[in-house]
Amino acid sequence: MNARTVLVLLDTPATELRSPALEILTLARGLGRVEAVALEAPSLETLAQLGTYGVEHVRQAELALDDPEQRHRPPVVAAALARAVEVAGADVVLLTSSFVTKEVAAHLAHATGAGLVVDAVGVTATDDGHVVGAKTAFAGTWETECEVTTDVAVLTVRANAVVPAPAGTTVETQVAGFPVEPDAAATAVRTRSRAVHPTTGGRPDLAEAATVVAGGRGTDGDFGPVLDLADALGAAVGASRDAVFEGWFDEFVGQTGVSVAPRLYIGAGISGAPHHRGGMQSSQVVVAVNNDPECPLFEISDFAVVGDLADVLPQAAAAIRAHRQDGA
């Protein structure tokens, strides 16, 4: 039954695989035989991780490019994946879900004629072999399933869709190169500059974190209490768009910002506008702290504190630290 070949694009092969990549490797195993695709040489750490996830083959693209910076361009990545689909005879391609991978996925689907599902929160197959992506819609208020009717399926999968689980047995992972010659259209855009800024303060990445603490206009510019609680919880920090537009923080949660679906989301001084909710409503547990008992975020919360975040958050952070110490 598992005659399918599933390709998984590795986002960070040169360092180590992050949770979203391990999550899609886990999902891929449920669909068929898994191979990984990398655009750079995998590190020893990555190879060891792939081994524990039961992946025997990594296909590493050897890109013929005049400008090596072009390897980041979505149409170039898509060209490599399209070639990998051909050489591996693959039926499914899984990618993590971000604005960049969605662009890759669109170019890939166009090149291969594949059906595309973006932002899946689960991937399964029907009895007659079609791949199905589970999705949420309308700010997480609806659950849908989208079936791919073509031979090749491309899906981007949101972080925290599943808990990453290594395979029962560890295998030896081999790397094999395959040549890719992106065409002129794929390399038409020139990169004049490119800068990568990692998450500040050594905190988890907002898009991937299992716990998120977000601050809004109610912080009045002081993110101190938000950072304090986040650090007590080991959480990622986010904001509302208004708080980012004010210059108080650098990343916001929402439909046009980062979509998050963590185990725990805490929103402080955030009213819960539909645009914001659209990017966090799929969180498992929602906690809100707001001095307005009528704030809309309370409507979708599991736990709500009516109060001033400047008092509530530090007290909660201290209590959590005390609890941790007791436990240790």
Partner 1 sequence: MRIVVAVKYVPDIQSERGFADGRVERVPDDGTLNELDENALEAALSLVEALGEEERAASEVVALTVGGPDAAAAVRKAFQLGVDRGVLVSDDAIAGSDYAGTAAVLAAAVRRLEQDGPVDLVLAGMAALDGLGSVVPSFVAAELGRPHLAFADRLEVDAAAGTARATCDVGHVSEELEAPLPAVVSVSDHINQPRFPNFRLIMAARGKPVEQWSLADVGLDPSRVGEAGARTRTVRAEPRPERPEAEVVVDKGDGGTALAEFLIRNELV
Ligand X SMILES: Cc1cc2nc3c(=O)[nH]c(=O)nc-3n(C[C@H](O)[C@H](O)[C@H](O)COP(=O)(O)OP(=O)(O)OC[C@H]3O[C@@H](n4cnc5c(N)ncnc54)[C@H](O)[C@@H]3O)c2cc1C
Q: Which does 34 bind (CB under 5 to 8 A by kind): ligand X, partner 1, none?
A: none
CB-nearer residue toward partner 1: 156 or 173? 156
Which of 44, 168, 169, 193 binds partner 1 (CB under 8 A)? It is 193
Q: Which residue is it, tokens 């904001």?
A: 239
Applying the rule CB under 8 A, the residues between 119 and 138 that interact with partner 1 are 119, 132, 136-138
| Residue 219 DSSP symbol | G
Q: Measured from the CB of residue 83, what is the shortest distance to partner 1 in angstroms?
A: 16
Of 122, 207, 135, 126, whose CA–CA distance to 162 is shortest?
122
Interaction of residue 318 with partner 1, rule CB under 8 A: yes
Region binding partner 1 by CB under 8 A among candidate stretches 1-9, 53-61, 101-109, 165-173: 101-109
Q: Any idea of the CA torsion for 186, 69, 99, 16, to the nearest 10 degrees?
A: 130
What Cα–Cα distance (Å) separates residue 199 from each residue in 8, 206, 216, 307? 25, 8, 19, 30
List the single partner that 240 binds among partner 1, ligand X, none, CB under 5 to 8 Å by kind.
ligand X
Residues 74, 116, 120, 38, CA torsion sign? negative
- The option from ligand X, partner 1, none interacting with 216 (CB < 5 to 8 A, set by class) reads ligand X
- Tokens encoding 89: 């005879």
State which residue, 42 or 254, has the beta carbon closest to ligand X. Answer: 254
> Distances from the Cα of 96 to the Cαs of 160, 220, 268, 285, in angstroms?
10, 34, 28, 23
* Rounded CA separation 245/311 (Å): 25
Minimum Å distance from CB 143 to ligand X?
21
Positions in 201-230 near partner 1 (CB under 8 A): 207, 211
Which residue, 46 or 301, is less far from ligand X as judged by CB?
A: 301
Q: At its nearest, how many Å lie between partner 1 and the CB of residue 100?
A: 6
Q: Which of 8, 109, 161, 295 binds partner 1 (CB under 8 A)?
A: 109
Using CB under 8 A as the binding rule, whether residue 163 contacts partner 1 is answered as: no
Chain-centroid distance of CA 174 in Å reads: 26
Number of residues that bind partner 1 (CB under 8 A): 90
Please provide the size of the chain in residues.
Answer: 328
Closest CA to 157 of 255, 11, 48, 315: 11
Q: Which residues between 231 and 290 bind partner 1 (CB under 8 A)?
A: 233, 241, 255-256, 263-264, 274-275, 278, 285-289
What residue ranges bind ligand X (CB under 6 A)? 216-218, 240-243, 252-257, 269-271, 273, 275-276, 279, 289-292, 295, 308-310
Take residue 186 and report the two structure tokens written for it: 């794929």
Phi and psi at 123, nearest 5°, equal -135, 125
> What is the amino acid identity at position 293?
P
State the minimum distance, in angstroms, from the CB of residue 140 to partner 1: 7
